[in-house]
Amino acid sequence: MAEIKNIDVRKNDIELKLSISREEYKIIQNNTQDLIVLPHNTETLKHSLTTGKLGNSNRIMMPKKVLQLFKIKELDKKIPSTIFTLNSDCFLLSRIKKTSKGIPKFRED
């Protein structure tokens, strides 16, 4: 797992110097933007989800209580996601709601 070696706090920016494993470097590839740094511990991953398979469907079911806790009223229908494997641990990363500022969307109730 990655480890922060140095944090440089400036007025508007915060620079991190990370130490990462070769597995993590392979995941990042040549990407230098749109990276997410997240802690992986029981304090951060505190919401329990039930896993399972639904035949041939591609679905992720989210509990209403968790969505309400984060004030998410509606999920996007098709969401980008992937599974990363690091040190034999598997992590699911999904963007369940994309913000679309500036363009109003009209729909019927």
Judged against a pLDDT cut of 70, whether residue 56 lies above it is answered with yes
Predicted confidence at residue 37, as pLDDT, reads 87
d(CA 79, CA 59) in angstroms, rounded, equals 10
Predicted confidence at residue 61, as pLDDT, reads 82
Tell me the pLDDT band of 51, cut-offs 50, 70 and 90: confident
Tell me the pLDDT band of 4, cut-offs 50, 70 and 90: very high
Q: Which residues contact 93 (CB under 8 A, 6 or more apart)?
A: 36, 81, 82, 83, 84
Q: For the segment 63-106, what is each residue's pLDDT rounded down to a tens digit?
A: 889 899 999 888 888 888 888 888 888 998 888 888 777 666 67
What is the average pLDDT score of the chain?
86
Judged against a pLDDT cut of 90, whether residue 14 lies above it is answered with yes
